[in-house]
Amino acid sequence: MKLVFVSNYFNHHQKALAEEFIKIYGDSYKFIACTPFNEKRLAIGYRDMNQAPFVLRAYENDNAMNEARELINEAECVIVAGMPVKVVAERLSHNKITFMQSERFFKGPLWRDAVRFAKYYRYDGGRSSARNPEAKFFLLCAGAFARWDYNMCGLFRDKAYRWGYFPEVKRYDDVGALISRKEKNSILWVGRFLDWKHPDLALTLAKNLRAAGAKFRLKIIGSGEMHDVLADMIDREKLTDCVELTGALPAEHVRGEMEKAQIYLFTSDRCEGWGVVLNEAMNSGCAVVAGEKIGSASYLVKDGVNGLIFRDRDADDLTRKVSGILGSEGEISRLGRSAYESVSGLWSAGTAAKRFVMLSDALKEDSSPVTLWDDGPGSFCGCHTV
């Protein structure tokens, strides 16, 4: 069987899953890159991952584009991610099994979301394949709210399956030893300083914890438009003795900081379609505290089992959740170990690739809903469940 994955460009978040697909499909797996590698990433030292041997760079010339079209139309199975439906329009007209991988549809201002929907409907060629219950066109939900958003538009009803992003998993010989070495009462926040990521919530938490007399050290890693706002807040609230603003760090250094931190904060709102940083923090054995509207949160985190979920943008609830585990070595260890097991097992690239083969085989036979697993990648979302 030939599997083709179509996206804008190949990046490090797709590497682990691609390697697992290659183990299964060998040379029959191809990744089609429709645009050059991101120039901003190249400028900060990333290598051009479109040069991988299994990547077809469709943007290079007409021959490459024609080869890409042939692969898309002839393959037994195609996944299209981050690209308009028009790239698989011909394939859909022949009702060949096709998956669209997507984060949630409605993230920002209503006008922008309306434009995105209009483009989707236009590229669907008026056939509305995603509305047709008989069409072999299915949604891989890269986030817990994708199914709901598409269903609200009448798309992919009873045809949505849990999915996500599957970054490389670091394996530790003794995860218990990793957790025991973590810095006591350490809290970490990592990301771009954007309003919808709410780094200021981490500072409000620090203010509340200090007022309660808690002992802790908060490290904030990143850069962005809110830098001056955060720096001013640290000075105004006199948090310099318990908060460190490090600036941006290389990816490998960030993972090192995660390995040292006991508690990881993830404060984004609904604009965070997935959030691979959550996979990475859980893989590092952190006790994660994540906002309820983050796309990956309710897929990866079972509240009280392998992490904690707080109400969207609610600083008081965030404070309660962190206060409940801060200083509790046993609880932090339990949550961190369970988090590691979740992303190294159920939510790993290896599990996702194996399950995808089973799911696609089942759906080739019958386009009606298929329920092979109750949870994890490839499990059926249903029409009225997250």
pLDDT at position 114: 66
The neighbour count for residue 330, using CB atoms within 10 Å, is 8
Q: In what order do the strands lie in the sheet with 55-57?
A: 55-57, 29-33, 3-7, 77-81, 98-102, 137-141, 160-162
pLDDT at position 274: 96
The neighbour count for residue 58, using CB atoms within 10 Å, is 22
pLDDT at position 1: 81
How far apart are alpha carbons 309 and 326 in whole angstroms? 15
User: What token pair was written down for 195?
Assistant: 């309003």
List per-block mean pLDDT (blocks of 10 residues) for the chain, which spans 386 residues.
94 94 97 90 80 96 96 96 84 92 82 62 58 89 92 88 96 97 98 97 98 98 96 98 95 95 97 96 98 97 98 98 97 98 98 97 86 96 58
User: What token pair was written down for 205?
Assistant: 């938490």
pLDDT at position 183: 98
How far apart are alpha carbons 73 and 346 in whole angstroms? 32
How far apart are alpha carbons 7 and 325 in whole angstroms? 41
**Element (H or E) spanning 123, and its range?**
helix 110-123
The model's pTM: 0.93
Backbone angles phi, psi at 268, to 5 degrees: -65, 165
